Amino acid sequence: MKENRKWVEQQKGEDDMGPVLMEIMEPELREDEKRGKEKGIQEGIRKGIYGTVNVLRNRGMSRDKIIEAVMEQYGLSEKETVKFL
């Protein structure tokens, strides 16, 4: 792995190899970008659910009503929803 990294760094420094290296690496970079976006979206949804639970709890809503509201809003099962309580 260390040797691969060293080779990549060397290739990045050569003007002629830049475009070739990018062509080789492009599929992997696009996949990494896609995974990063998906992870970010999931994290945002998770934070949104926790926020919703906290707001409803602070407004005095019962546990059962919170579960019902979160299930409806986010399309989760009861088992998935309970994890956020």
> In this predicted model, what pLDDT tens digit does every residue of 32-79 receive, in sequence order?
999 999 999 999 999 999 999 999 999 999 999 999 999 999 999 999
Q: Which residue has the higher pLDDT, 82 or 15?
A: 82
Domain locations along the chain: 19-82
Alpha carbon distance 45, 65 (integer Å): 20
Residue 22 confidence (pLDDT) above 90: no
How long a stretch of residues is the chain? 85
Half-sphere exposure of 27 (CA within 13 A, CB side): 1
Mean pLDDT of 13-41: 82
Mean pLDDT of 13-39: 81
